Amino acid sequence: MLVDTGSGDRAIERSAQACHRGRSATPCAECAARPVSVCSALAVPELRELEALSQHLTLDKGQALFRQDEPGDAVYNVIEGSLRLTRLLPDGRRHIMGFALPGDFLGLALAERHAVSAEALGPVLTCRFGREDFAALLEAKPHLLRSLHARTGAELMLAQDQMLLLGRRTAEEKVVAFLLGLRNRYARTGRSSVTVELPMGRQDMADHLGLTIETVSRMLTRLDRAHLILIVPGGVRLLDVERLERLAAS
């Protein structure tokens, strides 16, 4: 169950502040998430238009950026931190659809209501853009719209990969594919490392992969004992990427 932070007076709304306040002339140009974000399509002079529409929102661990079925009145760019994207099923079960990392845009579908809830796994910083303002910017910047379409296509491929992940693979293959996929996502943000940070808990991994927490723990222990990974505080170290990739592809 997600932590309830309230609706009309959520803490993230109280902490919202204008992005341009007290900052340099082109802060978006210096944003670490820009190279992997939709806004990378904009030239530096165009970024000032984006900045004029944006607000910074900060979250603490457990706070919701938005909740399932709330009006989709904004889009968000994740600058720092990570969030889990959760959907409550009609029978009350929770399914984790995925995890948002720096560079990810949330709410790009511009749907009337959010299909998922987005909850911070730790301290999070995002940029918020009003839906109507962002839609007007897309109309005025066709190259930004093309970037959005490319990102949407990539997200569709990830959704298809998730269907495969939950379908025919064994529990061990699911865990390995998840770790490799997370490693690749980190690499795209410039965080290339043999150690894969796991901001989500094992229960979150289990809910995402359609497994039990006991199975996830058992698979990680098995991989550790096989010297394929090394479990370290806050994540895992990938000791034999080639063998892991062969296992995930089997």
pTM score, two decimals? 0.77
Q: Let me know if the fold of 11-158 is the same as that of 169-249.
A: no
CATH top class, domain 11-158: mainly beta
**Sequential pLDDT tens for the chain (250 residues):** 333 444 334 444 434 443 444 444 456 666 766 666 666 656 666 767 777 777 889 999 999 999 999 998 898 989 899 999 999 888 888 889 899 998 888 887 767 889 899 999 999 999 898 888 887 877 777 776 666 656 665 555 665 665 665 667 899 999 999 999 899 888 877 776 789 999 999 999 999 998 999 999 999 999 999 999 999 999 999 999 999 999 988 6
Q: What is the pLDDT of residue 6?
A: 44
Domain 169-249: give its CATH architecture.
Orthogonal Bundle (1.10)
Distances (CA, A) of 172 to 6, 76, 151, 218, 243: 38, 34, 29, 9, 13
Domain ranges of the chain: 11-158, 169-249
